[in-house]
Amino acid sequence: MSLRDRLIKNSTIKETTLLSDSKIYAKKDVITTRVPLINAALSADFDGGLLPGLFLLAGPSKHFKSNFAILMAKAFMDKNPDGVILFYDSEFGTPESYFKDMNIDNIVHTPIMDVEQLKHDIVNQLKSIEKNDKVFILVDSLGNLASKKELDDAEEGKTVADMTRAKSFKSLFRMVTPYLNTKDIPMVAIMHTYDTMEIYSKQVVSGGKGAYYSANVIWIIGRQQDKDSTGLKGYRFIINIEKSRFVKEGSKFPITVSFDGGIDKYSGIYDLAVEAGYIVKSGGWCQIKDLKTGELAEQKIRESNITEEWLDELIKSENFKKYIKDMYAL
């Protein structure tokens, strides 16, 4: 018996094998949403999307974080109709109607009060989930959770600052990450952000450094008003890539959400097309490229007259996909 075979045989871990045969690095199941730019923000690929592992969605209140998470849960259930969403709820602000409006069913709802309670239950669940079980974990939110010590101190009337919360989060992330990655489970957790007390303050994700070490992807969501001559018609949310194993950190992706139409499927595609030279602007007019010949059309059109058919063709264009990968992929 060779040294290699002896080492494999002597291992106390049953999954030990040659790296080339390891199932851990087998091709992962990709969850593709209906919004191409969200897929690009996740993977630098319009046809890509969410992969197994820990994904943190961070931002201030009313920044569409829960809606982004539910959009991903919807894509997961569309791909896995027999799957289950394990929903840990600490905010109690996402009623069943949110999921019903998206035609999402088969949701296991678990209310949680503190970090330790979440850690105990989620690890217990992850141990019981088998490799091929289709489970999507949603935590709304981690940022809102107190530690058990914080709750106990409040009951006793103590006002001492709690120094254990960040450690509890770090422990939680350390414990769940191996299960998520080895059992191919996507987990989307919502976090809050706060501004640092510096001259040039910046937004930081709550929960300590553990989040940065463990997460595959961290988004920090910004927001701008979307107005026209009649007034406010929605919001433009800016996805800032704080950390990613797949997309260059610091990349920004704009997603438009209108009050009457929800998330625009073609959000951000126009901006990328301008950057890539597929649309040439001239005031309120523009020229678009013929995607077959690569030449600009002679006739100028209004920006509002760019058709969804042309945008669909652009998204499918191999040259445009290559531009996105070259711009954003690691």
For residue range 32-58, list pLDDT tens digits in order.
999 999 999 999 999 999 999 999 999
pLDDT for res 160: 62
% of the chain with per-residue pLDDT over 90: 62
Distance CA 111, CA 260 (A): 31
Instruction: Give the confidence band of 122 by pLDDT, cuts at 50, 70, 90.
Output: very high
d(CA 330, CA 328) in angstroms, rounded, equals 7
Task: State both tokens at 183.
Answer: 């059992």
Buried b (16+ CB within 10 A) or exposed e, 248-258: eeebebbbbbe
Is pLDDT at 221 greater than 70 in this prediction?
Answer: yes
Q: How far from chain centre, in Å, is Cα 107?
A: 19
* pLDDT confidence band for 159 (50 / 70 / 90): low
Average pLDDT of the segment spanning 80-98? 91
pLDDT at 200 (0 to 100) = 66
Domain 26-267, CATH: 3.40.50.300
DSSP three-state, residue 301:
strand
For the chain, the structural domain boundaries read 26-267, 275-330
Q: Residue ranges of the alpha helices (H) in the chain?
A: 3-10, 36-43, 65-79, 96-101, 115-128, 148-155, 165-182, 210-214, 269-276, 308-316, 318-328
Task: Name the residue type at position 155.
Answer: E
Decide: helix, strand or coil at residue 23.
helix
Q: What is the pLDDT of residues 254-306, one digit of tens each?
A: 999 988 888 889 989 999 999 999 999 988 899 999 998 889 988 899 988 99
| Global confidence as pTM | 0.91
Tens of pLDDT, residues 165-184: 778 888 899 999 999 999 99
Q: Which tokens hold the place of 150?
A: 């914080």
3-class secondary structure, 288:
strand
* Higher pLDDT, residue 100 or 150: 100
Q: At residue 163, does pLDDT exceed 70?
A: no
Q: Yes or no: say if 92 and 214 are a contact pair by the CB < 8 Å rule.
A: no
Q: For the residues 187-213, what does the mean pLDDT come to?
A: 77
Determine the length of the chain.
330
The structure tokens 């509002």 sit at 304
Q: Is a pLDDT exceeding 70 seen at residue 322?
A: yes
Collect all residues with Cβ–Cβ distance below 8 Å to 269 and sequence separation of at least 6: 36, 37, 311, 314, 315
